[in-house]
Structure formats: structure tokens, C-alpha cells
Amino acid sequence: MLATEKMPGVAVRAGVQTLLQVDGVTLQYKTRDRLVTATYRVSFDVKEQDRFILLGPSGCGKSTLLKCVAGFLSPTEGTMTLDGRVIDRPGPDRMMVFQEFDQLMPWLTVLDNVMFAMRRSGRFPKNEIRDRARRATVKVGLERFQDVYPHMLSGGMKQRVAIARALAMEPRILLMDEPFAALDALTRRRMQEELLELWDDVRFTLMFVTHSIEEAIILGSRILVLTPHPGQVRAELDATAYSHEHQGDAEFMAFNRKINGMLFGMQETAHD
Amino acid sequence: MTDATVTQLRNRPRPDIEREPEDISRIGEISRPIGLWEGIFAITAVRRALVLVGLGIAWEVYARWVGNPLMFPSLSDTLSAWWADMSSGRLPGAAASSLRVLLIGYGTAIALSAVMTTLAVSTRVGTDLLATLTAMFNPLPAIAILPLALLWFGLGTSSIVFVIVHSVLWAVSLNTFTGFLSVSQTQRMAGRNYGLGGLRLVIFILIPAAFPSILAGLKIGWAFAWRTLIAAELVFGVSGNAAGLGWYIFEARNALETATVFAGLLTVILIGLAVEGIVFRSIEAATIRKWGMQNH
């Protein structure tokens, strides 16, 4: 996040540079009695400063795909490259924000949680860490809660800490696995707005998994629609034009219906 | 009423109701501090102390009613015997000698257990090894291997340390390993996301995340160590002049000084209470309570 402030060139390259390349990726994992194919030959490119959404019903392998980008799994077939390098292990250049609130370390305060990742990865000079962590918590609106332990925070605040922690690492790409799914509807909407504001401010590259079409349209600049069992690419759509203000618009609704049709077939289009 | 009219009534829109909330100053009491007595009883130490006082009174009354100091000395007899040996330095010496052996055994066991559980959580061979060893040795009473320990290490401190290590190691390892396994997948992934792996993942993520289980294991291990120590000392004292609490109790029984036996037992209990109430409680307060991992 802070790197962009120092590098004016980024704005010029906006949306041009390919950051992440996913090429024909098939993902399989073993359960006790079967081999499950989660995705089948999925290909897509994520460009810098994209808000790239993986959208699909449960069981389409979108979370598995994200975990693979994070480096927790490796593909059975195909390749994933970040900046031209093959992804083969987890690393702090791809910070992940999970859905679960317990992703924060309960034994560390909010500020320590943010500093923890920076300290352990050894990517930042020691004397800058505290300052950077403070700035990151201020950015997500938690300056008053820096010294509080996570169990005292609400769900939305915990997710903000996780976002701050991830952004403070200045990752090449921010990975979010349904981060707002466990929040109530009002908080979720506020968090979506805040995430967009933050993106406006910092211009990070985002990869976001969701099963809500509405969330995908509002947050995304690009939406990858996946079919279920196993996940295959159904479409890759541009969604730059829509945000919260357009939510009731005819165009927004039409776009929503279009995606709905892709996911579920034309017969059941009314609901999300 | 016919069904039709019921449906009609149901479908009729009910009027909206809107109300102004009442002025807060007119509601009166919204919250008030709790009373003095309630406050005092909320302090755990006070309640526990009351239980102790109650038990003490019951003891004294029963002992006086029985009136046989050889079989069941009263609390006051026990306390005076305790005080006499405390001031003569005999009891503190015995307690110190016991504690020294205990700490050596306990510390060794914890170090071993740290190595074993770290191996177990990072490699599959380690897991199998720990699981098998724990299943084999955890049910084996420490006293049962004392004869073997005596054969190997002779009459002395090392034999007792050996059996203490045996009794502590498996309990602590089992708890720690269970704790490691119950650390949520998300927390592990978050750790690996920062590039942590192997030993660093264990130190920075698994140990703090599994701390409630680890602490429970340490408590159980401490109790096991005490029991084993006293039992082993009852069988033979510790070599030479440094005899421990078990030996103190054993000697007093041989001399038919029952009040002194009770004084020895009381010391064992007091040390146990102090460790539980002071050492473990402060560790708990500074860690899992503060972190919201324990709610009571």
C-alpha cells in the first residue's frame, strides 16, 4: 500500500501489467475415500490493480483455487505464476484474509497482530515496523483499538484488523476468501464500501472469492464466473461500471440476471 | 366465523405504530453498582477461603469428638506439630529437598516433551512414535517402574528423578500434542502465509495457540510429579542427609507421631495449593485469560 505512494509509475501502468497468470489449472484433493476434482483446466490472468472476483456456487472450487494461489496447495495440472515466477509455497507476497474470525492471533493485541507478520517475514527494517503498523490500523479506522485483544472486537472489526495486517505487508496481491460472509448484512455492506475506499486510496491488486452475485458486481472490476463440480470457467466479465449506487439500476439488475443465468440456467433468475 | 372471514381479517393491513422513546432521565435506575456482600462473594479467593475454614472446623470438631490423637489428631494438634517442625527447620529442609528433586524431574520432563511434541507435529514418524509411546507408557504407574529405576540408578536422587520424568512426560506430551492438533486450520494457514514453517511455526503459532491445553498438561504433570515423588520417598528416603517430605511422613508414622504425619501431609497440600493458586493462576491471568481463551 505504501509502495504505491512512493512509486508514481504505478498509476501509468495501471491495468496493463499481468501480475498473476493461471494457466490450465486442475486441482484435485484427496479425502479419505475419494479423489475430488475441485477445478478443471481453469485459466485466467489478473492484471495489476484488478479487483478480480472468483464467483460461483459452493463446490465450484473457488476457495481451493484461492488457496492454490496462496501456495497452500499445488495444482495437479497447469501452472500458476506470479510476476513470472511459479507459485510453489505460501509467502508474504500473497497475503490472505480468511472468512474465519480466528485468523487473528488471540494472544496478540491489534497492533501486535499487524506487526507480527511484518516481524516474522523479515521484509521490513525493524525501526519502521511499528510506524507502518500504526498507519495500517489507522487506514482501516481502528486507531482507537490498537492495544485491544482480538476477543474484545466485533466481527467486522476483526476482519478490518485482518485486512490491515495483510495490507501492511504490501503484498503483490491481496487474497480474500469470503471475508465478509460471516458478518451481518449491514456490517457487510459497510465493509464492502470501506474496502472500495481503501482500494481507491492504495490501489492494491485484489483477488476476492464470493458466492454472492451482488457482492461480486459491487466489489469487482473483473468477475470470473465458475461452474460447479468441478469448477470450470463459464465467463470472465468486466464489472468496472457498477458500485453500491447502481444497486437498483436496470443495468445492474440486468447484469445480475445475466450472471444468475450463467450460474443456474435461465429458469431461476429471481433471487440471489 | 367462516374460513373466508378469517382469511379476510388476516389479510387486512394492521395499522403502523410509531412511538417516541421516553426521556432517559425519567426512567431512573438503569444500572447500579452491586452491593458490598455480593461484591465480596464475587472474589474467588474469599469463597475458597470460606470452604477451607469450613473444612477446618469440621476436622477439629470431628477429631475432638473421636478423642483419639493416635488415630486422628485434631487440627490444633496438627498445627502445633507443624509449627514445631517448621521452626526447628526440619520441615522446611524436607520440603526444600523434595522440591529440588521435583523441579529437576519436572523440568527434564517438560524439555523432553517439548522435543517430542515438536517432532510429532512436524513429521509423521514423530506422530506415530509419540502416539505409540504415550499409549504404552501413560497408563503405567510410576511406582511400578521404581524397582527398575532402583536397579538402574541405585538408591538415590536419580532414581526418583527418573520416575518423576516418566510420570510427567506422557501426560504433558499428550496434552500438548492434543492442543497442537486442535489449533484451527485458519491460524496455521495464517502463520504459513507469513512464511513460517517447521520450528518457527511451532514456536510462534502452535505453542501460543495451544496454550490452554499446554497449561492444563503442565498442571496435571505437576500433580503427577508430586504424587510420584512422595510415593517414591515413602519407599526409600533420598540418599544421605537430604531426606524429603515422603521420608519425613514415613519416619513420623514409624514413631507413631500421627500429628506429625498430618503435618507432613499438610505441607504437601500447602505447597500444592500455593503452586496452583499462585504460580499457575498468575500464568493463567497473564496469558489465556488476557487473550480471551478462557472465560471463567
Range from A120-129, A164-173, B22-31, B124-133 carrying the lowest mean pLDDT? B22-31
Average pLDDT, chain B: 87
Cβ atoms of residues A61 and A231 within 8 Å: yes
Which residues does A contribute to its contact with B (CB < 8 Å)? 67, 70, 72, 90-92, 94-96, 98, 100, 102-103, 105-107, 116-117, 120-121, 149-152, 169
State the smallest CA–CA distance between residue B138 and chain A in angstroms. 30
pLDDT of residue B1: 55
Contact A105 B205 (CB under 8 A): yes
- Closest residue, chain B, to A69 (C-alpha): B193
Contact B186 A98 (CB under 8 A): yes
Q: Is A97 helix (H, G, I), strand (E, B) or coil?
A: strand
pLDDT of residue A13: 45
Helix (H) or strand (E) holding A160: helix A155-168
State the smallest CA–CA distance between residue B221 and chain A in angstroms. 24
Cβ atoms of residues A194 and A183 within 8 Å: no
Q: What percent of chain B has pLDDT over 70?
A: 95
pLDDT of residue B143: 84
- Closest residue, chain B, to A149 (C-alpha): B291
Contact A117 B291 (CB under 8 A): no
C-alpha–C-alpha distance, residues B135 and B159, integer Å: 23
Angle in degrees, 0-180, between the axes of helices B211-235 and B90-122, rounded to the nearest 10: 130
Cell of A106: 488471540
Q: Which CATH class is domain A17-93+173-265?
A: alpha beta
What pairs with residue A77 in β-bridges? A26
A27 CB neighbour count, 10 Å cutoff = 23
pLDDT of residue B237: 59
Using omega within 30 degrees of 0 as the cis cutoff, is the peptide bond preceding B69 cis? no
Contact B195 A91 (CB under 8 A): yes
Contact A151 B187 (CB under 8 A): no
- ipTM of the complex model: 0.81
| All residues at 6 or more sequence positions from A118 whose CB lies less than 8 Å from its CB, including other chains | A124, A129, A132, A133, A168, A169
| All residues at 6 or more sequence positions from A130 whose CB lies less than 8 Å from its CB, including other chains | A111, A115
pLDDT of residue B109: 95
Which residues of chain A are within 8 Å of residue B192 when distances are taken between CB atoms?
Answer: 72, 90
Range from B25-34, B154-163, B177-186, B228-237 carrying the lowest mean pLDDT? B25-34
Chain A interface mutation, best of B182, B185, B187, B193, highest count of A Cβ atoms under 10 Å: B193
Using one digit for the tens of pLDDT, what is the confidence trace for A179-230?
888 888 888 888 888 888 888 888 888 999 998 888 888 888 888 988 888 8
Contact B291 A149 (CB under 8 A): yes
State the smallest CA–CA distance between residue A231 and chain B in angstroms. 23
Read off the pLDDT band of A6 (50, 70, 90). very low
Say yes or no to pLDDT of A168 above 50: yes
Q: What are the residue boundaries of the structural domains of chain A, listed by start?
A: 17-93+173-265, 106-170
Of A106, A120, A121, the CB nearest to B291: A106
Using alpha carbons, list the distances in angstroms from residue A97 to A70, A180, A220, B104.
10, 10, 16, 45
